[in-house]
Chain A
Amino acid sequence: MDHLVMANSVALYAAVAVLLSGVFVMAFIFFRMAKTRALELGVETKTISKVIRTAATTSIIPSIAIILGLMTLVPVLGMPIAWGRLSVIGSLMYEVVTATIGATEAGAEGLGRAGFTPTVWANSVWCMTIGVLPGFILAFFALKKYKETVSKITARNTVWQGVFVGTIMIAVFANFSVPAIIAGGNDLLAVGVSAVTMGVVLILSKKTKASWLGEYSLSFSIIAALIAVIIKTAITA
């Protein structure tokens, strides 16, 4: 049997649907728990609503970009596996790397390339599944202790606490924005336009006291960058 017949079977759709439903329910339980906690702490309902709206709108465009990843994985691994892996747990780069290692170790020339038999496909799926083990073990065993240690280190001084978290956060952001600046071309255009848009939106929001603008700052910035790249592609095509 061709592996894609199995890969797109009802049984696998059902298996993935069970897994995703479980994660969705857990996300909802955490949502309820945190909302109750926020209300107990005296956070106003309108602040909670603002957080919900901003998180939701900001997640939309990057999530649409994941569908691009779906298009890459579906022809090789089948829809249910691609859907399950990209909706939860993984990300495109991780899935492509682990699935390719699984395929080559089982004798294929690459992911979906010559020799990609049903057994090789199964090995790709097993390898994608096992690769997240280190992250899960750390979250399970070490998160509580590590968070306590970080709080202890930073608790003595609020200035250092702010600098500590801010430095790590900007290190993460710069890790993705600096290579795009160095790469030039569309990458540089996207970084530049989104950064300028963010600056304009934040300044406008402050000057006009329109705090709602801040909620959409990231979405506006990404949309402006996408439009700029589309215009550049159209002009240079």
Chain B
Amino acid sequence: MEEALIRVKDLCKIYNPGENEVRALDHINLEIDKGEFVAIIGQSGSGKSTFMNMLGCLDVPTSGEYFLNGTDVSTMEDNELSEVRNREIGFIFQGFNLISNLTAIENVELPLVYRGVDRKTRHKLAVESLTMVGLEKRMDHKPNEMSGGQQQRVAIARALAAQPPVILADEPTGNLDSASSKEILEILKSMHKQGKTVILITHDNGIAAQARRVVRIIDGKIESDFINENYGKEEYVKNQLDA
């Protein structure tokens, strides 16, 4: 059997260990295969943000294992985690998180700069991914010269340019109006269609309902994990997994 892209086993994150300890994540077990479109849903305080930090290798668990693309990343050092984030994960944040004094294309090139990709290749990849999100005419604009929707598309282009196996979107539509939200969700769906693994973290049921698979987190535990039957009929479901 092929190894899952993401395999989380007994993952715990405990803040303030001792008397006032907070169990943000409490023995989470989850597998996500290559090519899935998963929504992780939970209210604020449910631990979904902590879980997203773990999945994104921004933070290390207190205990448990996390295999990403076959390697155990739960015990890695800072610099190794940076390397993993750079190669394996494309982030899309709620607040876009673009660097304000860089142009769109410079922002998109940034992960490739840290990977050490040469300038020509970098430029080519950045242009490709900006074109993919329909911003080929705005490449030299700075973030503050663009609308929220456009900024988020730049962020998506940035996540795509590095060609990571996992796209991790944390409330990507949280700061956007409904029209832009729809656009962004369409882009995420099309990325899924192209074979990317997309993990969408949200508190919004309506948005979660757009995903193929929905994982609900309550109080640091997985409460439910089901396949969304209403997901686009033409979608070919490769790997179904039960909780």
Q: Bound pair: A and B?
A: no
